[in-house]
Amino acid sequence: MMSQHRYLTKSRFKLAVECPTKLFYIGRPKIYRDTKQGDSFLQMLAEGGYQVGELAKCQFPEGVEVEATDHQTALAQTALLLQQDRAVVFEAAVVFGNFFVRVDILVKDGNRYELIEVKAKSYDSTHPDIAGSRVSIKSGMRPYIEDVAFQAWVISQAYPSAQIRTFLMMPDKSVKATQDRLNQLFKIVRDGKKVRVTRSDDSANFNPQTDLLAKVPVDEFVEMVNKHGVGSNGFLQPMDQAANDWAKAYAEDQKIPPSPGAKCSSCEFKAASGDELKSGFHECWFQTYGFTAADFAQGTVLDLWNFRKKDDLISQGRIRLSALQSGDINVKDGGETLSVSERQWMQAKGIPAEEDRGGYWLAEEHMRREMASWRFPYHFIDFETSAVAIPFHQGMRPYEQVAFQYSHHVMHEDGRVEHKSQFLLAEPGVFPNFEFARALKAELEGDTGTVFMWSHHENTILNRIMVQLDESLNPPADADELKVFLESLIKSGERAMYDLCDLAKAAYFHVATKGSVSIKKVLPAMLASNAWLRQHHAQPIYGAEGGMPSLNYKNFTWLPTDEHGKSIDDPYEILRDLGAEMLGESLPAGQDPDDMVIAEGGAAATAYSRLQFEDLQDAQRSQIKQALLRYCELDTLAMVMVVQGWQQEIRR
> For the segment 443-486, what is each residue's pLDDT rounded down to a tens digit?
999 999 999 999 999 999 999 999 999 999 899 999 999 999 99
Average pLDDT over every residue of 275-290: 96
- What is the distance between the alpha carbons of residues 312 and 240, in angstroms, rounded to a whole number? 29
Rg of the Cα trace of the chain? Answer: 27
Backbone angles phi, psi at 361, to 5 degrees: -125, 140
Q: What is the DSSP string of 39-66?
A: -HHHHHHHHTHHHHHHHHHTT-TT-EE-
Instruction: Reply yes or no on domain 373-500 having CATH 3.30.70.
Output: no
Q: Which of 575, 561, 560, 567 is nearest to 634 (CA)?
A: 575
Average pLDDT over residues 320-340: 92
Name which of 320, 301, 321 is nearest 311 in CA terms. 301
Give the span between the Cα atoms of 25 and 258, in whole angstroms. 12
The candidate with the shortest Cα–Cα distance to 469, out of 487, 457, 482, 485, is: 482
pLDDT-derived band of residue 2, with 50, 70 and 90 as boundaries?
very low
| Predicted confidence band of residue 565 (pLDDT cuts 50, 70, 90) | low
> Angle at Cα 217 formed by Cα 179 and Cα 7, nearest 5°?
105
Parse the chain into domains and list their residue ranges. Answer: 39-217, 359-370+511-651, 373-500
* 366-369: long-range pairs with CB below 8 Å, 24+: 366/336, 366/337, 366/506, 366/507, 367/503, 367/507, 367/508, 367/646, 367/649, 367/650, 368/650
Alpha-carbon distance of 263 to 139, in angstroms, equals 14
Can you give the length of the chain in residues? 652
Q: How confident is the model at residue 576 (pLDDT cuts 50, 70, 90)?
A: confident
Q: Around Cβ 98, how many Cβ atoms within 10 Å?
A: 18
Model confidence pLDDT, tens digit, residues 599-645? 444 889 999 999 999 989 999 999 999 999 999 999 999 999 999 99
The DSSP code for 32 is: B
Contact 64, 89 (CB under 8 A): yes
Contact 465, 383 (CB under 8 A): no
Taking a C-beta distance cutoff of 8 angstroms, is the pair 406, 380 a contact?
no
CA 353 to chain centre: 38
The pLDDT score that the predictor gives to residue 548 is 96
Q: What pLDDT shows up at residue 203?
A: 53
Residues 6+ apart with CB under 8 A from 617: none
Percent of the chain with pLDDT over 90: 78
For residue 486, CA distances in Å to 380, 425, 458, 467 come to 16, 19, 11, 11
Amino acid at 198: T
pLDDT tens digits along 587-604 = 666 566 666 554 444 889
pLDDT band at 272 (very low <50, low <70, confident <90, very high): confident
